[in-house]
A and B are shown apart, each in its own frame.
Chain A
Amino acid sequence: MAQETFQLFKLIEKISAREVYGKKLAEIGSVDDRIVVLTADLMRSNKTIDFMKAHPERFFNTGIAEQNMMGIAAGLALEGKIPFVSTMATFATMRACEQVRTDICYPKLKVRIVATHGGLTTGAGPTHYGQEDMAIMRSLPNMTVIAPGDPNQIGKVIEASINWEGPMYIRIGRGGEPVVYKEDYAYQIGKSITVKEGKDITLIATGAIVFHALAAAEKLAKDGIQARVIDMHTIKPIDREAIIKAAKETGAIVTGEDHNIIGGLGTAVAEVLAEERISCKFKRLGIPDVFGVYGEPDDLYHKYGYDSEGIYSSAKSLLS
């Protein structure tokens, strides 16, 4: 789906993915009573409180006990429930990592982990940064890994997840992410979305960085560079075809993610290119394998070079 991007800077609408998630969950909970929701003392933060109000008998706030929560979710899924489990990305993927791997992924259970505060979005320091989550989740067999390309997309992901087999890790931010999609579109797990066509270079981004990639493309257009922008919302299974096509047609790829440079989107794209024996200009942008410092997310994205300016200048130097 192509998207008019020059209006981006005129009207940046920001919505909280957490709000969209909370509402959607309460809504689908009414039509599918297999859905149960768990959180670990964060329902006010991740908005699963909406589900609690609508379906209190299918809601479990386990207190601050993430490992126990994942284990309970596994048991519920084993008996045919569809658990949506929410906590911050860092605690979901690291505190409860082995429960996710061994109790959920190994028996291939239909558990949906919806993690908030992915990447550096809290600004609150490494204890609260989900900067390795996608790498960890991607390495678990059977796991599907998704980072919606804008705050509204989480609603589509939740809908699609009901008919998707096996465990899923879905990562959103802290809230107040810019809206990328102004009109409705079809969403499919595992199928990337080309939000802007271009022939000179491809910017592949995921999560909140899709917006920054679009903004970078707009700046590049002013310099006469036609950048293609791909919303790679599904990191695993990754859309190989779109990557191959982009490399062949544009000859240059920049990846952008709010995640450590190791193991996430950039790595996944590089794996496809290497295995397909495609040689093209290539640059990964993300957290440069450090523990992120404190600061506001936009300042941090700038510092580490994956905001719109960082993507723009990396694209320029890649092409020069």
Chain B
Amino acid sequence: MNTSVAVSHHHGPASGISRWLFTTNHKDIGTLYLWFSFLMFLTGGCMALLIRAELFQPGLQLIQPDFFNQMTTMHGLIMVFGAVMPAFVGLANWMIPLMVGAPDMALPRMNNWSFWILPFAFAMMISTLFMDGGAPNFGWTFYAPLSTTYAPPSVTFFIFAVHMMGISSIMGAINIIATILNLRAPGMTMMKLPLFVWTWLITAFLLIAVMPVLAGVVTMMLMDIHFGTSFFDAAGGGDPVLFQHVFWFFGHPEVYIMILPAFGIVSEIIPTFARKKLFGYASMVYATASIAVLSFVVWAHHMFTVGLPLAGELFFMFATMLIAVPTGVKVFNWVATMFRGSMTFETPMLFALAFVVLFTIGGFSGLMLAIAPVDFQYHDTYFVVAHFHYVLVPGAVFAIMAGAYYWLPKWCGNYYNETMGKVHFWCNFIGVNITFFPMHFIGLAGMPRRIPDYALQFADFNAIATVGAFIFGFSQLIFLYNVISCIRNSKPASDRVWEGSHGLEWTVASPAPYHSFSEPPQVK
């Protein structure tokens, strides 16, 4: 027994490609997830740039409407399921064991499998672009019957791909829960967990609750398409609105799946660079939990115009407005953490500060959208597009960037180039706002979303948005270059990396050794 433990201590990574194919090491798998998500981020980003290029001027220039719809659909699906979610899982893989003092994830083999499903799922989904009839063209929300009776034949591959992504996510979530609940170091009580770990624990429960619902809804589509049922087909006695209820029962918690871990990351970074303990730790935990609970009773705010009964409209309006309370608490806590701190502004902190401001702006437009009577004007316009891009891009994506810069020295053992990091940040910050802020205006002025061409009064702001999108898109190459040079060679990082850092992950060496915490640390 003792000897086998000693042996496993000394064996490092396998060599060559088999290291990555067969690895059960949480750090390797985390790395795989992160690279995969970056690749998907660039892929989905290219699609976004094609969309923006077509919308640069009124008239059809580059692509035809059917392909435009394929691009909006694939862009949404790839960004949600391929870029943002795997990035968070990658960060969880790397950091949760280090943060709770565990030697690895609780279920390492399953961990390997959850990752390796993803490349196949996305290869299959992207291959639909080359099929007869083209890729899915019904929007990432794939409302029936546009996605069933009226869908291109490739919809079946899309359904299969969604099933695979769902399985991957559920396994990832189980693994995270098992790790957090069972592998904490002695003395690491629940109320001592870093907030990133807390937010991921809650996110993982959300995933387990709603991914099966997504699987259910795509299975019902499959039955309608191939096995003669009529779940969503009015002509056969079915109900197209049922689709939306089931979809958004998954979809709303899904948006919190994409933002709660971001809250966690920012709650790690701000205290480090403000050199001050996080304000209101306990209220942060409770706020996260209440957002998660509320996320199950607000789904129909996406459906205010489908003809819900008045009582339903009112219920979903009030419940949605209520979410502003715990979300507000979080923002106030972050600001209170900075207040009377001793701040410095390294790249991770810049991204975190931009997150707080721009996510809050996205929260404001969210609050406006919650007001049901007004939503009749906002719904399905660019105002909604502006809203969810504000919470997802400078929200989720900035938090991921912040996390990547923050932990990169721990992962690679080297500092990234700070100047280049700041240039990357400012390009992102400016690009994001030039892209998405004008969308509020064109949405209010009446431009519907998902249209390949538009009336002339929307022309100027669309042109501006396109310029912003190209700035944002191409500045990601700076990040790529910075990460690669950081891995190759650069200034070696100390174990603590940052002056104000705190927590178990900073007690191991930089770069973090292949096996860490084989002896559990003692947390006081």
Q: Do A and B bind each other?
A: no
Residues of B within 8 A of A (CB): none
